[in-house]
A and B are shown apart, each in its own frame.
Chain A
Amino acid sequence: MSEVPLIRLADVTKVYHLESGDFVALDHVSLDIMENEFVAIMGPSGSGKSTMMNQLGILDVPTSGNLFINGKNVAAMTNLERTHMRRDTIGYIFQNFYLIPLLSAYENVEYPLILKYKRRDTSGKAAAILKSVGFDEKLSAHRPTQLSGGQQQRVAIARALVNDPKILLCDEPTGNLDRKTGFQTMDILTGLHKEGKTVILVTHDPKIAEYAHRTIQLEDGKVVAS
């Protein structure tokens, strides 16, 4: 493991400006996450878990404080550089899967490759990753609406992995799945962690959190345990 943390939050604060006044969703959060950690973020609803994930996924920038990913200060990056970092360094797995409805399962997985290489995939990588999550050619031709929740989540995982990102961000990946499918998903994530990925996972479920090696507890936007 390297000395430099893969992710560093230094006094990160996120304030939402609402009509009813300012709302502090993340309150001076500082923490480091090293490469190949398996972290669970827990906390009550509204405690700021998703807000923190949006920061880690650089979908948003801190109101104050600094966020470093892979040694780079996110605030100093251009819009395009952030877009490319999201594409190349981070894989997202969402509670609602968020597959592209107009594309088939295969095309959804191929899509990040096209974004990166600006051409259709001829390496067979998309098909191979889909196969590793149990999708044959016939199933890969289905549109998201023709798939079950567990199947959609597996496609989403395949899509998150296809560009070989260092970081996997999973916001309640099992939230919309039954227990059995949920545990299957966790087995896949565990395997990926073993392969060297840094996995960061938000969950309400202590059983799911047990898969992780470290738990960060959030309350009212503050880290109360890590």
Chain B
Amino acid sequence: MKDIFFDLSVRSVKLNFMRSLLASIGIVIGVVAISSMGMLGTNMQLIVKNQLTAGINTIVITSDVVRSEPGSFGTPTTGITESELNDIRDMAGTNKVIPIDRTNTQFSIGSNDGRGSIMGLDLTDMKSIMNVSEGSTPRGESDAIVGATIASRFNLKIGTRIKIGEPNISVTRPVVRVVGILPTIGMSSSNGINTDNAIIVSDTWYSAQYGGDKVWDQVNVNLNDVSTLSAVETAIGNKVNRNKEVVRISDASSRVTSVSSTLSSLTTFILAIGSISLLVAATSIFNVMMMSVSERVQEIGILLSIGTEKGEVRRMFLYEAFILGIIGAIIGGIMSIVIGYSVVSAMIGNTAYFFLPESIIYVPAGMLIGVVICVASGVYPAWKASNMDPIEALRAE
């Protein structure tokens, strides 16, 4: 069915082509602003989230209690026992389980004293999870690899010797030799260990110096598949903590959640700024609709006097606003893709996520909002037109 009121609106838009076009430009700008800003925010979120989730595939298990060995009054040992480790291995399945010894220590390189952490890892584990940027992974007992921060601060080279422990003239300190240097890890370590300020030695060397041969300070489980994170955590928790809380199980997901929520409020803020342009667009549409009504007063008088219902007059003007909105939304939608893509690639430098549904959805959403704003701006002018006194209206001109 072809609606004559729609025809009338189309003709009115055509008759005032320039004016209609200018009004639509307002909507175009609004739609482009909303969609490209939305896409900018979303792409930023997606990229950061993806970088963060690189480290999320690690479950970190630490001892939760201070255990006193029965019958001994010595220092209480803390750590994960061999039986607990075996339980963890059972539950971890094919995921890699890496027991780690760690402590803080002082050390000296030549006459320079420093402080950092020292970690003991199984040599095979070290080989599989550490990628040195210089040198190689340790082969011998007293070989060590060092983190990027320590290496640059003390100007360490392959072959440099480090004395481990508190400087004390009366005691000869054990020495390790640097065989490899690690790249900078920063926040996003893919294996869950921040090695930047660490000296990493073999577990046998570590135990020889610090004791605790069958006790570990930390056990990392590196997941093959991130989506199994909570399942594996629950399984380990149920097994190891079955009687009482003996280990603490943690991961980086809370960090990701908090950063994501910060970013999403940032996106909302950006969107709010974009919405201001839609407000401006609404004003321009409102203006044009009021002009259209006041220019067509006599026509409205004719329509009403020969028996057009108020609702039909209203419909005619709402159609007009709708047509302006559709024109604006279509042009705006096309431009949003072009401009949004340029903005994302210029400001983020990565358009890998641009065409994902989460991001591209802002184009139809922006278009829809544009059309709705347009029609909403036409409500008052349409109402005004339909409530004119036909006699007064006929007299106009």
Contacts and interface: CB of A to CB of B under 8 A. Distances in A.
Given A54-B391, A114-B4, A120-B4, A102 B306 contact: no
A111 B4 contact: yes
Interface in A96-120: 98-103, 107, 110-112, 114-116, 119-120
Contact of B299 (A60, A79, A94, A102): A102
B113 interface: no
Given A100-B299, A102-B8, A83 B1 contact: no
Interface residues of B, number: 24
Contacts of A110: 4
Given A57-B305, A59-B305, A114-B4, A102 B12 contact: yes
A137 to B, nearest CB: 19
A57 B305 CA distance: 8
Contacts of B8: 100, 102-103
B385 to A, nearest CB: 14
A120 B310 contact: no
Contact of A86 (B7, B15, B307, B310): B307
Interface in B297-319: 298-299, 301-310, 312
B239 interface: no
A100 B303 contact: yes
A115 B299 contact: no
Contacts of A225: none
Contacts, number: 61
Nearest to B308: A115
Secondary structure of the B contact surface, majority rule? helix
B391 A98 contact: no
Query: Which of B7, B304, B307: most chain A Cβ within 10 A?
Result: B307
Given A107-B4, A115-B312, A92 B306 contact: yes
A166 interface: no
Interface of A: 54, 57, 59-60, 79-80, 83-84, 86-88, 92, 94, 98-103, 107, 110-112, 114-116, 119-120, 159
5 contacts: A59-B390, A80-B309, A86-B306, A115-B307, A115-B308
Interface of B: 1-2, 4, 7-8, 11-12, 15, 298-299, 301-310, 312, 390-391, 394
Given A84-B307, A111-B4, 16 more contacts: A83-B304, A83-B308, A86-B306, A92-B306, A100-B299, A102-B8, A102-B15, A102-B299, A103-B8, A107-B7, A110-B4, A111-B306, A112-B306, A115-B307, A116-B307, A119-B1
Closest 6 interchain pairs by CB?
A87-B307, A86-B307, A102-B11, A98-B302, A114-B4, A59-B390
